[in-house]
Structure 1
Amino acid sequence: MKKTSFSIFHLTEEQAITLLSTPTEQLEDPTDRYIAASRLVEYPSERAVEALIQAIHQPGDDLDNRIVRRKSVETLGHLRAAQALPTIRVCLEDDDCYTVENAVWAIGEIAGEEHAPDHVSLDETILEEITNVLKRPGQNYRVIIQTLGKLGYKAAADRIRPWMQAEDLMVASAAIATLYRLGTDIAAMPRIVEMLQDANVNVRRSCLQDLINTNYYSAIAQIAQCPVSMVFRLRAIQCLAVVGMQERAITFAEDVEPYLDQVIYDHPDTVELVHEYDQTPTIEFAVNELYETDFGRCYLATKTLLEVYPQEAPAALLAAYEDKAHHDYGGYYHVMRLFGWLNYDPAYDLLVKALHNQESQFKKARVAGAIALGRLGKSDAIAELQSAWNTGTWELQYAILIALDQLGGLTQSSLQSEHPLVQAKLSSLKG
């Protein structure tokens, strides 16, 4: 579960604890307690933990109280609050399926870091209680199965195995991955790799996470072609490449670099498309598809714009930018990327702006801007790329290296990075 910060509400620890302990009927807005429980993720103190525990124990089965209970359990998981385990354990028997799901996940967070100095060992009784949740209808079986794998509970293997054939492919993928982690049924992993091409984007994203969880670095080439956002693929490749290289099972030059470059470039021809049109769409339709959350559809639209509308596309993309792409981070990314693939020189200033855009939601657009500037071939971009280096993520730094190499600006730079994949790329280009 993603750790979401509620710092925008500017609640201090004291204010959050006070709100959380206030009965709902005394609040102007019943969501205040939920916000307080969320905000306490920023305060790993004993007082915060105790307040969250008390919130779980607060009587009342109304929806507002259930939501607060769920969030309190989740926050305790993020805080890895071992002292809360007895309370969280009781939640495994709750009537609310979401509270149960959060309880299972939180236990995995608290006890799942086997090599952590503050590792918490669980007795078999609680591990059995988690496993038994698989028998209850209406639960999130994916989370339960993933947690059992994280906790390394091999005794659950026989009860997980039937879920490999689950109709819900996200559950099936989790079961296959978990049995692999537990050392059984290792021959089934190629099924997860095949699911990277499923029509359902949530299945594709779930499979990427399962491949990360299993350190299945032999799937890097297939991950590079998976039609999901570049962000998901880069995260997976980074995790798997670092592990594989540390174990000396793979090399950067042969097993990582070609596929990492491919994802950073992110041309639609290098993505295995899972959608198709039954007839050639209009340019208006294709441009609108760039705003879809399923990037499989975005890549199909991008391919169409490049192949069917290369002359008309720049004007349509500029109009899209002025309309809403400038504030829609998905559309913004695709528009910037297309300017590069179309070699559209008039977009130079927009691409420089994208390169330097440090708003968190536009991180991937900075990568698109760097690659597009390299494509345009203007030497003026060298200084812009170098100046963006220190404010960039590892993905942006990697893209900057590719762009500088294309522009002939790499030899005159003294760029350095502590990230192993960026270091490897630097060595590759300079070697």
Structure 2
Amino acid sequence: MSERFDVLFAGLPEEKAIELLKTNPEELKNPVEKYTAATRLAACQSDESLEALIEAISLEQENLFNRITRRKVLEALGRRRDPRALPGLFSALAFDDEPSVINAVDSISQIGFALEDEQRRTLLNALRGSDNQKRSVIQAHTRLGIEKADHEISALEDDANPLVAGAARAYAVKVHGRVDRLEPLIPQLTDPIAGRRRSAVIDLGDAGESSVLEHLVSCPVSMPLRAKSAFQIVDPEKTGLVPAPYAELITRLLQDNPLDMALQQDWSCESSLSDIEKNLQHRDEGKQYGGALTLMKMPNQQQLEAIDHIHDKFWSDYGANYLLTAVIGLNKVHERSDLVRTALAETLPQYAKSRVAAAWACLSLELNDQIELLQDIQFNARWLPLKWSCEQVLKQMS
């Protein structure tokens, strides 16, 4: 989803970004510009910018800003998806900086190029790192469809760390067709620890098994993460088309009704505004959905007052913005349809999920005056969940 934030760096010319990337950070008034330049070059296409990124893999690492820049460079090369970067990326697997190694592994899988035998051995050797590194290496094998690592990866299916075990099980399903290996991942979707729920969502997406879609609908983690995995399953080629048998489940996932969520009792809250505020701003999405559910169940007048209060205090918080927009649409709160119009018109990338909620709210609130904007979003949006939502809403509004 990082591509959605390219607009934030679009004002930096490519030539200037290359110059900044090659400048010693100690000579820069603002050294942060060096790694910002690397992120900017991820969205460029020229050979010059690609060569600058590859060259920057060899930055000396005594300087903190150089270390951060190298991590950004390795990440950027994955987005460039050019196999000419592979030699540099494989050299990074020998670095003693774990974030750099993980970024290099992720970029190798993003490029998606068939690996030579020596490259496969080098990638498999990276399995000897930390648990986070193991997870990344296993994911790369899954996404590249590398069959010859079965012995080493299958041994990790019962690893004590569920992040390692889950990735290994996704590999078994996707690469070797062992669908039964997914079974332990389903209860993990409702684990009390949010990080475990999120990792299970990612693993199910990597596994590519459509039978889990119903479970993704009810898993209390962020809608964009679940949508990424769901679209990975139903539309692996990223065509923007959802096969008819899956359309209803994808619709439910994107409409994101807290009533559909498998919420633990202690994730809900009392109906006081202070409790709802705390939940909506909590880092655990289970708590966030619990707060939204409490808001949905309020009597009409009390709900309107709560919406106004939260809007006044937290509308700029993109998490609260999203949930408030969703609740207005799901509960058909016609009195606050102006907030839906505002959310739909928001173009800052961090509010993209609010636009999804607003699109579906336009349907439930019958906001026909938004059809032209919905058509524009459908035509121009790059994020598939937003594009597909607008398409479906327009079909039903016509």
Normalised by the length of structure 2, the TM-score is 0.85
Aligned counterpart for 1:290 among listed residues 280, 284, 287: 280
How large is the RMSD of aligned CA atoms in angstroms? 3.0
Which residue in the other structure is 1:27 paired with?
A: 28
Shift of 1:239: 3.7
Shift of 1:21: 1.8
Once the two structures are aligned, what percentage of the paired residues are identical?
28
**What residue identity is the alignment partner of 2:351?**
F
Question: Larger deviation: 122-131 or 293-302?
Answer: 293-302
Aligned counterpart for 1:389 among listed residues 363, 367, 375: 375
Which residue in the other structure is 1:347 paired with?
A: 336
Q: Does 1:333 align with 2:353?
A: no
Secondary structure at the counterpart of residue 6 of structure 2: coil
Q: Is the 8 A contact 1:351 1:373 kept in 2?
A: yes
Question: Larger deviation: 51-60 or 336-345?
Answer: 336-345
Shift of 1:177: 0.4
| Closer/same/farther in 2, CA of residues 385 and 295 from structure 1, 3 Å limit | farther
Q: Does 1:54 align with 2:40?
A: no
CA distance in 1: counterparts of 2:132 and 2:350, whole angstroms:
32
**What residue identity is the alignment partner of 1:328?**
D
Shift of 1:176: 0.5
CA distance in 1: counterparts of 2:41 and 2:371, whole angstroms:
39
CA distance in 2: counterparts of 1:335 and 1:139, whole angstroms:
34
Which residue in the other structure is 1:42 paired with?
A: 43
CA distance in 2: counterparts of 1:345 and 1:60, whole angstroms:
57
| Closer/same/farther in 2, CA of residues 363 and 95 from structure 1, 3 Å limit | closer
Give the number of the structure with larger relative contact order, counting CA–CA contacts within 8 Å between residues 6 or more apart: 2
Q: Does 1:165 align with 2:178?
A: no
Q: Does 1:209 align with 2:202?
A: yes
Q: Which stretches in structure 1 are left out of the alignment for 5+ residues?
A: 113-119, 405-412, 414-431
Q: Does 1:153 align with 2:146?
A: yes
Q: Which stretches in structure 2 are left out of the alignment for 5+ residues?
A: 379-386
Shift of 1:89: 1.9
Secondary structure at the counterpart of residue 213 of structure 1: helix
Rg (Cα) greater in structure? 1
Which residue in the other structure is 1:90 paired with?
A: 91
Q: Is the 8 A contact 1:74 1:103 kept in 2?
A: yes
Shift of 1:372: 3.9
Which residue in the other structure is 1:179 paired with?
A: 172
Describe how 1:236-385 pairs up with structure 2 within 5 A: 236-242=229-235, 252=244, 255-274=245-264, 276=266, 280=270, 282-307=272-297, 310-325=300-315, 327-376=316-365, 381-385=367-371
| Closer/same/farther in 2, CA of residues 73 and 328 from structure 1, 3 Å limit | same
Q: Is the 8 A contact 1:367 1:399 kept in 2?
A: no
Secondary structure at the counterpart of residue 44 of structure 1: coil
Shift of 1:35: 1.8
Residues matched between the structures, number: 386
Shift of 1:321: 0.6
| Closer/same/farther in 2, CA of residues 55 and 282 from structure 1, 3 Å limit | same
Q: Does 1:227 align with 2:220?
A: yes
Q: Is the 8 A contact 1:38 1:72 kept in 2?
A: yes
| Closer/same/farther in 2, CA of residues 123 and 350 from structure 1, 3 Å limit | closer
CA distance in 1: counterparts of 2:274 and 2:120, whole angstroms:
54
Q: Is the 8 A contact 1:227 1:296 kept in 2?
A: yes
CA distance in 2: counterparts of 1:46 and 1:344, whole angstroms:
52
Which residue in the other structure is 1:407 paired with?
A: none
Shift of 1:360: 3.5
